[in-house]
Amino acid sequence: MRADTLGRWARAEWGALYLAVRGAAARRRWWAVAPMTLGAVCLTGLVQVVQNQSWGYRVVQDLGAVRAEDPLWLALARTPLSVFVPALDLPVWGALAQILVVFGIAELCLGWWRTLVIAYVATLAGTLYARVGIALGPDHPIGLPASDARVVDTGPSAAVVGLAVFLGWRYGAYVTAGVVIVAMVVEVVLEDNLAGKEHLAAIAAVLVLCAVSAVRQRRSRAARSTSGAPPIQS
């Protein structure tokens, strides 16, 4: 692919997202660019340190580890913190980098509260899917073995995947969003583990959010067109 062709494709794919990030960053002072994201990175790092201590592992498990075998009320109470509990068997730097980049871009483009809502919906979708999948059983196409009830749900990764797909849809980076989705499908095909299937559940939930947002935008445009009001820049 020629350099000029690649450049045009990159501008078409990421141009709107780049302009949104640059515009939001320019309106803020450097220390307040993405405070929620910095807090999320610090909280994830702190949780990682604590859960690797002899006295801290049980504390983190009791406050933020979600399993399908837990009572539903307890799982729902733990889910908000579970977004920031990194997997013990994976390098924490990967999780911190993902949160910093994806949460940071989302906070700049969507605002901190929308970012948290989407991250929570994605994580909650994975949590609830695990229960449904185990109830369906391993013989069902989307079912899970009973042993997965004792596996800790995915941590920040479901939120990161969900935010990446939403940002791709919102700012027209459809190829990027598609690559994320395909990568998660490949993960399930190759490893067939609970985390991979929870990622797909998170994507499904975020795609529903995208569809709802698209419908609301169309209705808003139709209402403004009928009333003769000028269009509102999104």
What pLDDT, in 10s, does the model give residues 107-127? 999 999 999 999 999 999 999
Quote the pLDDT of residue 231.
54
Quote the pLDDT of residue 90.
80
Quote the pLDDT of residue 229.
55
pTM of the model: 0.91
**Rounded to 5°, angle at Cα 226 from 220 and 230:** 70
Distance CA 122, CA 200 (A): 9
In 3D, which of 146, 182, 188 has the Cα closest to residue 164? Answer: 182
Helix ranges restricted to H, the chain: 3-26, 35-51, 57-64, 72-82, 92-98, 104-110, 112-136, 156-170, 174-191, 194-227
Please state, rounded to an integer, the average pLDDT across all residues of the chain.
Answer: 90
**Rounded to 5°, angle at Cα 113 from 107 and 114:** 75
Domains for the chain: give ranges and CATH numbers.
3-227 (1.20.1540.10)
Q: What is the pLDDT of residues 4-14, one digit of tens each?
A: 788 888 999 99
Q: What is the pLDDT of residues 27-50, one digit of tens each?
A: 877 666 789 999 999 999 999 999
Q: What is the pLDDT of residues 167-221, one digit of tens each?
A: 999 999 999 999 999 999 999 999 888 999 999 999 999 999 999 999 988 888 8
Q: What is the pLDDT of residues 80-111, one digit of tens each?
A: 999 999 988 788 999 999 999 999 999 999 99
Measured CA to CA in angstroms, residue 182 lies from 9, 39, 175, 194 at distances of 20, 30, 10, 17
Quickly state the pLDDT bin for 225 (edges 50, 70, 90). confident
Q: CB-based burial of residue 150 (10 Å sphere; 0-12 exposed, 13-18 middle, 19+ buried)?
A: exposed
